[in-house]
Amino acid sequence: MTSLPALPTPKKLGLVIDLDVCVGCHACVVNCKEWNTGGYGAALSDQDPYGADVSGAWLNRIHTFEVVPQGGEIVGEAGEARIVHFPKSCLHCEDAPCVTVCPTGASYKRADDGIVLVDEDMCIGCGLCAWACPYGAREMDLAAGVMKKCTLCIDRIYNETIAEIDRQPACVRTCPANARHFGDLADPSSAVSIMVAERGGMDLMPEQGTRPVNKYLPPRARKPLASSTPLPKEDTTGATGFFAWLDDMLDRI
């Protein structure tokens, strides 16, 4: 059924991604692909994997943006421009347009925890849901002809056969910088909700009216380069004793 749950879901499982911390290492991207190619649903295929025109389905991708403050300069590392690594995967939206457009009922939002999933046995691979998602969070698997998307690692988070510490999405578990957090955003006392409240967690493209569950923590303010402590200048005046003598001798040769 591709109508959205009538009531707000009691749980809103999702990710909180810290843009201040992400170093753009792509570890989460690789671990996502690794886990999901062997887990839920069809394998995540690649096309022409060893050829010149390689492409494939990924559920998590890292973009890197340069943000230039007003009046700032873009001069590589010496300027005011700021580099922000930006992981992007499905935001498990509350008003998910990808769900309501689906003609088959393959695309659905779970009423209990809000996870947005695709039932691959029902998907006809029409691609309309990928068009409806403003975030580019859905990609067609060209080998299986079905739509793939982040499942929030549903086969990990509820999996009682793996150690409790591993019952987290693969990306969260693997992030070496601790930039990714998983939890229930409907519970105001959860760690993720507190993080969002304290750091001003934000929605992506709120104007699209999708009400994403995933939140992004903005990069912390950075002081302008000009006000940083300057590197010490070369200056030998005031040297005494041995160093004064050495300075004097080196000047002479």
Residues that bind ligand SF4 (CB under 6 A): 22-28, 62, 85, 87, 90-93, 96-98, 101-102, 104, 106-107, 116, 118, 123-129, 133, 135, 137-138, 147, 149, 175, 177, 179-180, 210
Q: How many CA atoms lie within 13 A of 232 on its CB side?
A: 3
Choose the one of ligand SF4, other proteins, none that binds residue 70, judging by a C-beta under 5 to 8 angstroms depending on kind: other proteins
Task: Kindly state whether residue 123 participates in binding other proteins, applying the rule CB under 8 A.
Answer: yes
The region of 33-41, 84-92, 171-179, 187-195 touching other proteins under the rule CB under 8 A is: 84-92
131-170 residues near other proteins, rule: CB under 8 A: 131-136, 139-142, 144-147
| C-alpha closest to that of 204 among 250, 136, 109, 131 | 136
Q: Least Å distance between CB 253 and other proteins? A: 48
Strand, coil or helix: what is 118? strand
Q: What is the smallest separation between the CB atom of 39 and other proteins, expressed in angstroms?
A: 20
Q: How far apart are CA 133 and CA 100, in angstroms?
A: 11
Tell me the C-alpha distance between 151 and 206, whole Å. 22
Residue number, 99 or 152, with CB nearest to other proteins:
99
**CB 41 → other proteins: shortest distance, Å?**
13
What residues between 194 and 233 interact with other proteins by CB under 8 A? 202-209, 216, 218-219
Tell me, rounded to whole angstroms, the distance of Cα 90 from its chain centroid. 9
CB of 140 to ligand SF4, least distance (A): 7
**Bridge partners of residue 81, in order along the sequence:** none
Which positions from 19 through 78 interact with other proteins, judged by CB under 8 A? Answer: 19, 24, 29, 53-58, 61-70, 72
CA 153 → CA 32, 41, 140, 168, 222, distances in Å?
9, 12, 18, 7, 34
Beta-bridge partners for 46:
56
In this structure, are strands 13-18 and 215-217 parallel, antiparallel, or unpaired?
parallel
Exposure of 94 by Cβ count < 10 A (0-12 exposed, 13-18 middle, 19+ buried)? buried
Could you tell which of other proteins, ligand SF4, none binds residue 69, using a CB distance below 5 to 8 A set by kind? other proteins
Residue 239 C-alpha from the chain's centroid? 53
Instruction: Name the residues that contact other proteins, by CB under 8 A.
Output: 1-3, 19, 24, 29, 53-58, 61-70, 72, 82-84, 86, 88, 97, 99-106, 122-128, 130-136, 139-142, 144-147, 202-209, 216, 218-219
